[in-house]
């Protein structure tokens, strides 16, 4: 989308460029040119999380991209150009002069486990460059690459549309101020980087569509993001602390074209701005108070397709707050709900027709109140259910036939009230993994699970020895892996 390869002319009624891109990919899949990797838990908006090329197609495309007549892309394997100048702790990445000024798209891939103090040679890459991508192939490789303001000639790279600097450590922890000179920039990714502060010049990027701030640790932000009128996709990290320079909460009003917003929280962001985001389609948010929860769950935006909500330490003891939760569970956009240490006055809302019709993930952790686990079996799309240390529940629960039709992952932890659990034939037909942790009064694993053809893994943790002996005696089939830890007396 940032390159302009997705055509606005192909948009249908109520479609976004993302929808058009998915249609393009689907067509390439049907032609056996592209492989889609299914998202581990599917939702209406996220059916896959990455795509790739078949080996032969990849080799063909790569050779064409680097061919003299195309000069579409130059890819560099960084591991081939590492130089230890003083010692192994002073490793530098030296880009060969042969890259020159003719390249329009430069991709530097890093798949090694070592720190790089700096990059040399990028000052020669200038002029017509449209895309600069420095990314890590591995998912969790602890690679940090030093990046100074002098590393790249921002003035000569003013036509950049894509600037990806993943896993980089910036001088002084600050993103270079001169990034604001890249006025044609559409896509800026700082994912996994150690940037600690963004300059005010970030709002001088008039065409920026995607801003990825899924960074490490803490990031200080000037309160100017709301001025980026063409921003469509904004990403934060659920594990990163946001500090807004000036002490106010981060403003979002004004982002009328914003389609994706991940992860914000009510402590640092003005949640009241969410209903003003009229183009929003995907929202991931953590809230710490009942009023913020109410704003998120009562949002009437008809464009919203997917809401992922974490509710933490909320007092929902009033009847009004429980009614907000009850009505919020009727939202067709709610696909993810996790509640931590919340105080509920009575029962978790009982199922009624239309409730949680698209809910994929549900987790309740250390909450006060009462829960009827059997009610969750009526949620038609639920794929993951985790219950931990709920104050009250029935001593005996029965998963009826045809309940939990899509459930794949089930976790039961610290449920002291639970004594007997039964599973009827036909319940949880897609269950692949089961966790039972510190449910000390549970007598045994249900007999019905012995006949499950989908079960592949059982994790039994901190359970009494008698319980574990029963598990070891039972035959769950050759495909079930048992993992038993922490047996108690």
Residue 121 pLDDT = 84
Average pLDDT of the residues of the chain: 90
d(CA 178, CA 312) in angstroms, rounded, equals: 39
Q: pLDDT tens-digit profile of 319-342?
A: 898 999 999 999 999 999 999 999
Q: pLDDT tens-digit profile of 228-244?
A: 999 999 999 988 889 99
Q: Which of 417, 425, 477 is nearest to 446 (CA)?
A: 425
Q: pLDDT tens-digit profile of 58-99?
A: 899 888 888 877 788 888 888 888 887 656 667 888 888 777
Burial environment of residue 248 by CB neighbours within 10 A (0 to 12, 13 to 18, 19 or more): exposed
The token pair at 68 is: 């003299």
The strand pairing partners of 347, in sequence order, are 370
Q: Where do the domains of the chain lie? A: 1-67
Q: What is the biggest distance separating any 2 CA atoms in the chain, rounded to whole angstroms?
A: 73
d(CA 174, CA 446) in angstroms, rounded, equals: 55
Q: pLDDT tens-digit profile of 10-44?
A: 999 888 898 999 899 989 999 988 998 876 667 76
Q: Which of 80, 88, 76 is nearest to 117 (CA)?
A: 88
d(CA 214, CA 220) in angstroms, rounded, equals: 13
- The secondary structure of residue 390, as a DSSP letter, is -
Q: State pTM to two decimals.
A: 0.92
Q: Return all residues near 244 (Cβ < 8 A) that are at least 6 apart.
A: 220, 221, 222, 223, 250, 268
Handedness of CA 355, 357, 359, 363 (dihedral sign): positive
């Amino acid at each position: 989308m940032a390159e302009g390869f997705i055509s606005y002319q192909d948009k249908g009624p109520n479609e976004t460029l993302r929808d058009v891109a998915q249609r393009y990919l689907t067509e390439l899949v049907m032609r056996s040119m592209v492989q889609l990797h299914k998202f581990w838990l599917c939702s209406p908006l996220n059916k896959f999380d990455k795509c790739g090329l078949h080996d032969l197609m990849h080799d063909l495309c790569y050779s064409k991209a680097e061919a003299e007549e195309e000069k579409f892309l130059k890819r560099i394997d960084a591991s081939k150009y590492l130089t230890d100048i003083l010692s192994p702790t002073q490793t530098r990445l030296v880009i060969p002069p042969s890259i020159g000024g003719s390249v329009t798209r430069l991709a530097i891939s890093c798949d090694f486990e070592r720190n790089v103090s700096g990059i040399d040679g990028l000052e020669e890459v200038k002029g017509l460059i449209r895309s600069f991508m420095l990314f890590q192939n591995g998912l969790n490789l602890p690679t940090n690459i030093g990046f100074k303001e002098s590393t790249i000639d921002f003035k000569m790279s003013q036509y950049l549309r894509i600037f990806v600097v993943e896993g980089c450590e910036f001088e002084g922890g600050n993103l270079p101020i001169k990034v604001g000179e890249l006025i044609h920039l559409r896509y800026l990714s700082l994912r996994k980087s150690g940037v600690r502060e963004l300059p005010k010049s970030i709002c001088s990027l008039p065409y920026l569509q995607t801003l990825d701030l899924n960074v490490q640790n803490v990031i200080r932000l000037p309160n100017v993001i709301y001025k980026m009128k063409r921003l469509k996709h904004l990403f934060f990290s659920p594990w990163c602390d946001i500090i807004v320079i000036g002490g106010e909460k981060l403003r979002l009003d004004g982002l009328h074209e914003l389609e994706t917003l991940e992860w914000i929280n009510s402590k640092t962001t003005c949640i009241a701005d969410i209903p003003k985001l009229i183009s929003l389609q995907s929202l991931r948010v953590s809230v710490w108070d009942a009023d913020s929860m109410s704003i998120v769950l009562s949002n009437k935006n008809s464009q919203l397709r997917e809401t992922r909500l974490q509710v933490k330490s909320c007092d929902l003891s009033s009847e009004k707050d429980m009614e907000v939760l009850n009505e919020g569970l009727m939202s067709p956009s709610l696909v993810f709900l996790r509640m931590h240490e919340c105080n509920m006055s009575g029962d978790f809302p009982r199922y009624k027709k239309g409730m949680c019709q698209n809910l994929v993930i549900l987790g309740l952790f250390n909450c006060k109140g009462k829960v009827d686990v059997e009610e969750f079996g009526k949620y038609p799309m639920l794929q993951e259910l985790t219950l931990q240390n709920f104050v009250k529940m029935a001593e005996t629960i029965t998963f009826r036939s045809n309940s939990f039709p899509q459930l794949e992952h089930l976790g039961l932890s610290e449920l002291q009230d639970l004594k007997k659990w039964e599973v009827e034939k036909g319940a949880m037909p897609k269950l692949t993994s089961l966790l039972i942790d510190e449910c000390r009064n549970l007598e045994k694993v249900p007999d019905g699970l012995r006949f499950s053809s989908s079960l592949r893994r059982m994790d039994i943790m901190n359970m009494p020895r008698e319980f574990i002996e029963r598990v070891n005696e039972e035959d769950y089939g050759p495909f079930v892996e048992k993992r038993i830890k922490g047996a108690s007396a």
